[in-house]
Amino acid sequence: MLEEVSNTAGYVETLEKEVESTKKDLEIARERNEVLAKKGNTLRMRVARAPSQQTRAIDVAVEEAVAEVKDQMPAIVLKGKGGIIPENSRAMIRDMVAAGVPATAVNGTIHVIAKHQGLNVVGSVSPRSVSRNVLEGGVASEIQVAEELNKAEGMCTYYDVPDERVLIEWTGATMSGDGTTHRHGQYESRHVTIMDAATSKPVTLTLGIESAVNHTADKQTDGWKNIMQGFVDVANNRPSVRTGSDPLITTTRIAAKFTGVHSDHAQDQKKNAKNLEAWKKASDREVRGEEIMKSLPSEELLPMLCDAVNSEVTAIGGREVWDALPQQEMEAHAVRAYQKVCAAVGQKAYEAMTQEDKDQADLFITAGCCMHKDLNTVKGGNERMMGMWKREGLTPPLVLPNRDNAVACRPQHRRRPKCMPKRFRRQAG
């Protein structure tokens, strides 16, 4: 009996071990099924995502290809590294504004044009940047005018023929300008023409349009001097001039190179031309004297400068007044004294020159447009014709009224003063 119980206990123990082993196998199988289920689910999800992944991969490839093509396309760089606008883009912006594109529309206009022309645009510009570029262009143009006039050569060539000398060639700079009124305001326009040394062709530079108090000859002359001084001041304020890399520019040297002026035949323009010619000659003497003074020894130069400064001191009221002057006014008087010495030395050198050299130094041609002369011819001819019609008893030309005046010329309005424009009554009278 005990043996049977022992055998039964051993059998039960064996069964329990088998059950435990079976449980472990089931757990392993369950875990394996879970792994297989996850893998199956992953595969199903991957298969489900495959079309969208393929589409996205195609889109990315297309975008990369387009970006690569764009990188190889010509580009308009509006802003480079550090937000700096390149010089060629600055020039384009100024040209667009000059053509009438508003500052607020410049950026959009550039992008629209680039889009339709297949160009890539890098960066953008704000209306404030556009306005600043325009202002910078104005400063650059003033510097350009000053530099070009400073480089111009004031020379001329004559050809001698019997009993006369003929001017065949000249360089330097010529002036032109005139004024007009608009809404009771006076405006002056000025230009200068120089000979381009590289191409030997004339180049005209505009000095802009400015308002003026009036159109008198003296005011016009002052306007020329003031605008030249303004350009020179801007050019001389450059860092390159302050450091000595570029030479100092003076209005005196520029004015000495002027060889003529062009306007009309009005009396104020004739007087203005004479004023400008006097300015040119005075500047020539001063420049000529300054060049001579550079070569004079100190023992000869200093006495002349001291005498000139003493004359300035006496003119303003003596030494006490001079010492009380602000430093700026004192320097202005010293400069004036130096200029007087230069002019005196230059005049003395001019008087010692040959007539041919004097003609070259004083060359200044005044030219006037034919508009007023032609107008005077037409007016004079009209007066003579009107006198001939009356003298010979001839019928004057018939009035050809426009559409508005034709209504007044109908039969019920036969009286001449009502049916005839006022400007025609005198000649048809």
Two structure tokens written together for 87: 């010089």
Which residues 6+ apart lie within 8 Å of 106 measured at CB?
A: 93, 96, 97, 125, 127, 130
pLDDT in tens, 187-228: 999 999 998 877 878 889 999 888 888 888 899 999 999 999
The pLDDT tens digits for 307-339 are: 888 888 888 888 888 888 888 888 888 888 889
Per the CB < 8 A criterion, the answer to whether 152 and 171 are in contact is yes
DSSP string, 1-35: -HHHHHHHHHHHHHHHHHHHHHHHHHHHHHHHHHH
Q: Look up residue 246 and give its two tokens.
A: 């570029």
Nearest to 180 by CA among 151, 146, 145, 215: 215
Provide the β-strand partners of residue 77. Answer: 122
* Cα radius of gyration rounded to whole Å, the chain: 45
Q: Domain segments of the chain: what residues?
A: 6-42, 75-125, 146-368
Q: Report phi then psi at 174, rounded to 5.
A: -120, 155
pLDDT of residue 424: 46
- Give the number of other Cβ atoms within 10 Å of residue 300's Cβ: 9
Q: What whole-number distance in Å separates Cα of residue 361 and Cα of residue 172?
A: 11
Residue 290 contacts residue 346 (beta carbons within 8 Å): yes
Low-confidence ranges of the chain (pLDDT < 70): 1-7, 9-12, 65-73, 154-171, 411-429
What lies within 8 Å, CB to CB, of 189 at 6+ separation is 177, 178, 179, 180, 208, 209
Our separate counts of H helices and E strands in the chain read: 16, 9
Distance CA 46, CA 275 (A): 93
Nearest to 173 by CA among 196, 145, 154: 154
In the structure encoding, which two tokens stand for residue 216, read together? 């008198």
Among candidates 258, 256, 238, which has minimal Cα distance to 247?
A: 238
